[in-house]
Structure 1
Amino acid sequence: MVNWLDIETKWRKKWNEGKDFEANPNEKEKKFITVAYPYPNSPQHIGHGRTYTLADVHARYYRMKGYNVLFPMGFHYTGTPILGMAKRVEAGDAEIIDGLKNIYHVPEDAIKTFVEPIKIADYFHEEIKAGMVEMGYSIDWRREFTTIDPVYQKFIEWQINTLKEKNLIMQGSHPVGWCPKDQNPVSQHDTMGDVEPDFTEYILIKFKFDDYIIPTATLRPETLFGVTNLWVNPQTNYKKITVDGEKWIVSEECARKLEFLDRKISYDGEISGSDLVGKEVTVPHRNEKILMLEASFVESHTGTGLVMSVPAHAPFDYQALVDFKKDQPLGSE
């Protein structure tokens, strides 16, 4: 019977003693192999195995083709997930401590040190590296680094500045998940349970109401010409705000969200939804007046807290209008 473990051990030892994966300057054509750095907040898992095996196959292929291949490995220490883990350990969070102890089999003495984020990163750095060595990856471990090494940080600064000087990158803006408590962006891995931040991009339609704008958020701006009315919740207290010099009426939740969208907001007062019911707004591009009608189904946390009604394109709006008419006294318009 073949002892596969002995074979693995034999070849790992041979590669290590022969320094087969150490890339030094020579006359051969160069190939530099890089791959996403592992994030050391847990041991190596099957996803790591897939990712780094692909890179290793790539590196070995080019060595066989006669290239001088450099395959280094970095470890991604920066980011908020490790900071979040440290805060939870410090707070005595039973769930994370149980996971570290019984799933990852981290010794209790090590867990006690995990109140320091660097200790978490260092521990799982070595766990992941041990797994890579055991897998026999053809990495030049002399070129091992982390993203908090001063030399690496200088490299990133040089890289960004060089690209900017060549006009190959520019600073802009794009939507990100945002934590109001910590005042910084968050990604999926920053959240409890790996929840992907969700973005819905709306088009605002601005309806004129006296000296104010009543904006509604829609995914179907082309249906503007079929708008028959606006829906407003009479139980909601709406905010009068100034947005970049323009006066708006929106829900409190909408006003709060606008503060995170690079808008200049000031609060001028409030108005009850019941005071808006029955009032008229002017439809843009049609210059026609339509009514604001009451609807308890309008949610203040969705969009602007006011909804444009297009019964020709939205069955829900059509049914809401049918129900609204049934509730009106006989003889009313």
Structure 2
Amino acid sequence: MSVYNFKEIEKKWQKKWEENKTFKTVENDKPKYYVLEMFPYPSGKIHMGHVRNYSIGDVVARFMKMKGYNVLHPMGWDAFGLPAENAAIKHGIHPDKWTRENIEEMKEQLKLLGLSYDWDREVATCLPDYYKWTQELFLKFYEKGLAYKKKSFVNWCPSCETVLANEQVVGGECERCDSVVVKKDLEQWYLRITDYAERLLNDIDKLDGWPEKVKIMQKNWIGKSIGAEADFEIEGFNKKLKIFTTRPDTMYGVTYMVLAPEHEYVDELVKGTEYEESVQAFKQKMHHLSEIERTSTDTEKEGLFIGKYAINPLNGKKIPIYIANYVMVDYGTGAIMAVPAHDERDEEFAKKYNLEIIPVIDEDGTMINSEELNGLDAKEGFNKIVEKLENLGIGKKTINYRLRDWLISRQRYWGCPIPIIYCDECGIVPVNKEDLPVKLPTDVEFTGKGQSPLITSKKFTNTTCPKCGKVARREMDTMDTFIDSSWYFLRYIDAKNDKTPFDKDLVGKWMPVDQYIGGVEHAILHLLYSRFFVKVLKDLGMLDFDEPFSNLLTQGMVLKEGAKMSKSKGNVVSPLEIIEKYGADTARLFVLFAAPPERDLDWSEQGVEGCFRFINRVYRLVDELKGFTNVEMNLENPSKEDKKARYVIHSTLKKVTDDISGKFGFNTAISALMELVNEMYKYKELEARKECILKEGIETIITILSPFTPHLAEELWSMIGKEGSISQICWPDYDESALVKDEIEIVIQINGKVRGKLNLSANITKEEMEKEALEDDKIKQLVEGKNIVKIIAVPKKLVNIVVK
């Protein structure tokens, strides 16, 4: 008997798949199925999260191909980003070289897993033939008025002299040098995602194939609020203070106003006054705190009176103006009317600073202390006050969103250059499309100091204006990497197109993605940005659909001893070590069997060994029975054992088909397969076994295995004399007639406790069930001498004998 040599088997079939381009997608008339896993950052090493994510997608892709679909299953690289730049600073390796080497390394590692990717469609977002089109899409956004530049506060490390992304700020300090990070006001590029807030919100209801928790997360992130805008005059100041409130019914209860320390009016209001110095000191203090630190419910409310008063437009009352830590300039208008009687944060602040608290809604929801509105319920008061504001011309009913416009500027090198030129004569000038791509220069210095390494390249920074031809300068910022991942799924469909980002008709044929798979950590930003991009591209006439992903699966994490795997915790399991020791098929089988995909999976070496033993068991079974796989099918005069074996074969096939089809019940499918293997081991030992049933069982086992353990399935398929790749065959239909049982198992209970089981005719009546139960020798002994009160028979399931 041969031995399961996984190293030889896996190497052999990976070579065959590559040589034969087995998984290349070609256009045909079959129904389409686009399955996609979120593409990885090329860090150089795959981890167990990758193994799980991509194994899930591969099962779906292989299964749907065998079900007769034309499957598109591509892979690429989300290749721009900070780690490459940090490597350049730390080790002197150019980001381009570092990234390309990592891509090649990770690509070889992914191939070890036997994933059914069409590598001809591979994209890398850092290559000019990809980011050229990213730049063209940016220009289309700009032409449509959806890209604009404005000043905003960013994280600034005074030691490194550079802007930091939020992820580079850890506990208020720079992750590189541990210096305290401050806020700095810089000009930044934004995309007007808020213009699409209502559509993004409403269309969530179209996403029937998305997890409910993800839809709720997106709704909360967009954060629609219905309320009113109102203008408050400021005493001795010629500008009005605009606020947004969801509770205009409480306006008579306003006792103070709060501005964000960064609000544009603050400096003007305190200039030359006794409050100027303390206000500036407070602002500096706030610049050292993150948004989370400032707005957390656990953070003590802190503020400062700035010496000015606002006027309540409803009653003319003077209201002191404060600045405080809990109001952010990017939320609403950066100013709030504080009603401490009806808001916990305002109440905490008011008590700390001894400010007035005026209740205006009683416990029954009736308005009080509200002049002519006293006695109205709050809902009616809401409408009356909005009406009053509109009549006075100082406010209106309005809708506000928590969602902010998308800040896309990054002051770093390794990103897509923003195709904008600045001219002293013409101002902001977009690069001509025929001059794209604006390529990243190679003559840059990576010092970790200053705003961007791009500044060190004079060839890059100095250019000529496309409009007037005079000396001009390029934009130094690069784009947020979320831009790259907001349209990559479209480029896969037409990856070699050198005329446009993609062909509209071709994309229309394949999109939307039928099944998208990735981590729940991307449930908000990446998915929201992708939805936004698709809606804009539809409005631009480039697409005919407005949602990118029909179905979404967010897989759980791989844990070890209940904790997320991380280098810092020393609990990382290397997939390459597992593949080396047990083989890729074992690694795949374990991550698919150990837990349902949407739940976290706890790593278990014993579980891996168990999967390895199972694979060896299957291999031995097929090797032993491979001589019977050429026999003709002859099911005349089947015995009870024959029928039972065929029942297990076809019920397993039915269960696996149902479990994979949209349910992602891979763990239960594999469990059923294990039971089938056990049954075939029992059946083969029978003297009266039928060789044709052994053949049917073996072929079914191999077919079911193929999406889960593809190398093993290919080898076994070949061992039993089949030609070609098992991935090319049709998924079999189960035999309905084999699922009809002649006999069924009936449970016998006495006073609700199971006391025995009987195999009886599937057509037995209730009366016959009762009779058989009472005539069973064991049951007779148990009820002897007792009074039978009643007998309850549930057809084809159980008999319960109630005795005293």
Query: Under a length normalisation based on structure 2, what TM-score does the superposition of the two structures give?
Result: 0.27
Is 1:18 aligned to 2:20, yes or no?
Answer: yes
- For residues 145 and 231 of structure 1, what CA distance do their matches in structure 2 show? 49
* Counterpart code for 2:234: K
1:310 aligns with 2:339: yes
Q: Distance in 2 between matches of 1:19 and 1:86?
A: 36
Read off the aligned partner of 2:311 and give its amino acid letter: T
Asked if 1 retains the 8 angstrom alpha-carbon contact of 2:156 and 2:164, the reply is no
8 Å CA contact 1:37, 1:73 repeated in 2: yes
Amino acid in structure 2 at the alignment position of 1:171: L
Pick the aligned partner of 1:282 from 311, 315, 324: 311
Correspondence for 2:46 among 38, 44, 47: 44
Q: CA deviation at 1:56?
A: 2.0
Which has the larger Rg? 2
- Tell me the amino acid that sits aligned with residue 228 of structure 1: T
Separation in structure 2 between the aligned mates of residue 307 and residue 251 of structure 1, nearest angstrom: 18
One of 52, 56, 59 as aligned partner of 2:58: 56
Question: 1:187-213 deviations in whole A, cap 9, x for unaligned?
Answer: 64x656999xxx999989745221255
Q: Is the partner of 1:74 in helix, strand or coil?
A: coil
Q: Closer, same or farther in 2 for the Cα pair 1:299/1:22, shift >3 Å? A: same
SS in 2 for 1:20: coil
CA contact (8 A) 2:155 2:166 kept: no
Asked if residue 134 in structure 1 is aligned to residue 136 in structure 2, the reply is no
Taking the aligned partners of 1:26 and 1:69, their CA distance within structure 2 comes to 10
Counterpart AA for 2:267: K
Trace 1:72-87 onto structure 2 (pairs within 5 A): 72-87=74-89
Q: 1:61 to 1:85 in 2, by over 3 A?
A: same
Between the aligned partners of 2:31 and 2:267, the Cα distance in structure 1 is: 66
Whether the 8 Å contact between 2:245 and 2:336 is mirrored in structure 1 is no
Contact kept? 1:177, 1:185, Cα under 8 Å:
no
Give the unaligned 5+ runs of structure 2: 176-220, 260-265, 271-275, 288-303, 357-804
Do the aligned residues in 2 keep the contact of 1:59 with 1:71 (CA within 8 Å)?
A: yes
The answer (yes or no) to whether the contact 1:231–1:292 under 8 Å persists in 2 is yes
In structure 1, the residue corresponding to 2:268 is in which secondary structure? strand
Q: Distance in 1 between matches of 2:222 and 2:117?
A: 42
* Structure 1 range deviating more: 307-316 or 137-146: 307-316
Stretch deviating more after TM superposition (152-161 or 28-37): 152-161
Deviations 1:155-177 (A, max 9, x none): 5567778x97xx9x872679999
Report sequence identity in percent.
27
Do the aligned partners of residues 307 and 143 (structure 1) sit closer, same or farther apart at CA in structure 2, a change above 3 Å counting?
closer
The 3 A distance-change label for structure 1 pair 53 and 286 is farther
1:33-64 alpha-carbon deviations (Å, 9 max, x no partner): 44432111352122322332233223212321
Which of 309, 312, 320 pairs up with 2:352? 320
Q: Deviations over 1:250-283 (max 9, x none)?
A: 95549x99xxxxxxxxxxxxxxx7771xx64312
CA contact (8 A) 1:207 1:214 kept: yes
2: CA distance between counterparts of 1:36 and 1:211? 53
Shift of 1:147: 1.7
In structure 2, do the counterparts of structure 1 residues 170 and 291 end up closer, same or farther at CA, with 3 Å as the change threshold? closer
Change over 3 Å in CA distance of 1:274–1:41 after alignment to 2: same
Alignment length (residue pairs): 261
Distance 1:151 1:121 in 2: 16
Closer, same or farther: CA 24–7 of 1 in aligned 2, 3 Å: same
| AA in 2 matched with 1:287 | G
Q: Are 2:151 and 1:151 aligned?
A: no
How far apart, CA to CA, are the structure 1 residues paired with 2:32 and 2:336?
61
1:11 partner SS: helix
Q: Distance in 1 between matches of 2:170 and 2:306?
A: 41
* Mapping for residues 209-224 of structure 1, pairs under 5 Å: 209-212=235-238, 215=241, 222=248, 223-224=250-251
The answer on whether the counterparts of 2:138 and 2:147 sit within 8 Å (CA) in structure 1 is no
Contact 1:29 1:68 in 2 (8 A): yes
- The CA deviation at 1:21 is 1.6
**Equivalent position amino acid for 1:316 in 2:** E
Alignment check: 8 A CA contact 2:76 2:124 kept = yes
Q: Give the match's secondary structure for 2:319.
A: strand
Structure 1 275/70 Cα, relative in aligned 2: closer, same or farther at 3 Å? closer
Distance 1:53 1:150, change over 3 A: same
Partner Cα distance (2:231, 2:49) in 1? 45
Q: Report what 1:107 is aligned to.
A: none
Whole-Å Cα distance in 2 between the matches of residues 204 and 41 of structure 1?
51
**Once superposed, what is the RMSD of the aligned Cα atoms?**
5.1
| Cα separation, 2, equivalents of 1:218 and 1:251 | 24
Query: CA 1:113–1:137 in 2, change beyond 3 Å: closer, same or farther?
Result: farther
1:135 is displaced (CA, Å) by 0.8
Letter in 2 for 1:130: E
Name the CA shift for 1:20/1:306 in 2 (closer, same or farther; >3 Å): closer
Q: Which amino acid aligns with 2:251?
A: L
The reply to whether residue 240 of structure 1 matches residue 268 of structure 2 is yes
- 2:56 match: secondary structure: helix
In 2, the alpha carbon distance for the partners of 1:323 and 1:150 equals: 60
